[in-house]
Structure 1
Amino acid sequence: MMVMKHTLSVLVENKPGVLAKISGLFSRRGFNIDSLAVGPTEDETISRMTIVVESEDRSLEQVTKQLHKLISVIKIQDLDPENMIERELILIKVNTEPDFRPEILEIVDIFRAKIVDVSPKSLVIEITGTTSKLEAMEELLRPYGIMELVRTGRIAISRGIKAVRA
């Protein structure tokens, strides 16, 4: 069996404790969650969890069957990488010596990122995009000295009109 990254879109009831139940189920089954993002949907009673895990198909199938048994779970979809739009947000605080600031600003421009804070010794850069885009920018900024970094985790939605609804 081949191990692959899977992006699960899980619609759940927007109630306290749902996140703990679902993440606990993954933990008990020995899964490490690579990324987890949760937020309300267009319906305030429903939240969407985007969960990224690395797994064999058969193991993931067992977990999704157990997820379906939870009362708070409405719908689960394993998104097709070829048919989804994914984004992450990252904030990077970079050490900026005056001599290197123009080079960093050029990288920011090339990646269509934004400077969201400026101080005499640092810049905070905001960038959204695919995981590979964020990793490429992070790699280019590393030699300048990344002081802090925070990521949202992946969010994803299927392309076209096919909705993930119950």
Structure 2
Amino acid sequence: MEKTYTVSVFTENSIGMMNRVTIVFTRRHLNIDSITASESEVPGVFRYTIVLRTTRQQVDKVVGQLEKVIDVIKAFVHEENDIVHQEVALYKIRTETLTNGDVEKVIREHHARVLTVDPQFMVIEKTGHVEETQLLFEKLRPYGVLEFARSGRVAVTKPMKELSTYLEEI
């Protein structure tokens, strides 16, 4: 049965690393829903947070393959209830829509915030799960969304074992 999984991959920071990580998914014909790369809490170690929809068997095979890639330190698979996650979405809408209070009401109802106001446009930020950011997009659409961008998932695990502990074990 297909479910949504979050894969955390910890690597050294080397050129072409993202390509080497994503090619593992490509070879198994798995589509990545989102990917986010950043530094981790350990100096010199980078974290890729990858979201995909597949079976447990497939994701376990991918994690095994990822750990064979040079410069991959460790890879983990997490189910939805094992992590705390958020995404960031930015919405650029026409400033002229501010003439009535409807846009401001929508922003408040969705716990979003205005980042900048320009004579021609304003930028709104919303953090939350993909369903929440998509819902705000749908509510803002009638006001003329000029641009919309959503980050990939940023996640931390609920279990307390830290990456540094895993590194010491290795």
Q: Does 1:161 align with 2:141?
A: no
- Give the CA deviation at 1:83: 2.7
What is residue 71 of structure 2 aligned with on the other side?
72
Match of 2:9 in 1: 10
**Residue type at the aligned position of 1:77:** F
Aligned length: 165
Task: Using the TM superposition, give the Cα deviation of residue 138 of structure 1 relative to its aligned residue in structure 2, in angstroms.
Answer: 1.4
Structure 2 CA distance for aligned equivalents of residues 80 and 55 of structure 1:
11
Residue 109 of structure 2: aligned partner: 110
Match of 1:136 in 2: 135
Aligned partner of 1:36 in structure 2 is 35
Letter of the structure 2 residue corresponding to residue 119 of structure 1: D
CA–CA separation in structure 2 for the residues paired with 1:76 and 1:98: 46
TM-score by length of 1: 0.89
Helix, strand or coil for the counterpart of 2:21?
helix
Q: Render the CA deviation track for 1:91-137: whole Å, top value 9, x for unaligned.
A: 11123444664111111122222211223443210111122221221
Question: 1:16-31 residue pairs with structure 2 within 5 A?
Answer: 16-31=15-30
| 1:119 is the counterpart of 2:118 | yes
SS in 2 for 1:153: coil
- For residues 70 and 101 of structure 1, the distance between their equivalents in structure 2, rounded to whole angstroms, comes to 55
Please say if residues 92 and 148 of structure 1, whose CA atoms lie closer than 8 Å, have aligned partners that are also in contact.
yes
SS in 1 for 2:67: helix
The one-character-per-residue Cα deviations of 1:13-62 (angstroms, maximum 9, x if unpaired) are: 12222111001221122111110000001222100100001111222222
- 5+ residue gaps, structure 2: none
Deviation, 1:143, is: 2.1
Identity of aligned residues (%): 32
TM-score (norm 2): 0.87
Task: Measure, in 2, the Cα distance between the counterparts of 1:73 and 1:36.
Answer: 16
Q: Where does structure 1 lack aligned partners over 5 or more consecutive residues?
A: none
Q: 1:19 to 1:43 in 2, by over 3 A?
A: same
- Could you list the structure 1 runs, at least 4 aligned residues long, displaced by more than 6 angstroms after superposition: none
Query: RMSD between aligned alpha carbons?
Result: 1.8
Which whole-Å CA distance do the structure 1 matches of 2:42 and 2:101 have between them? 45
2: CA distance between counterparts of 1:102 and 1:42?
43
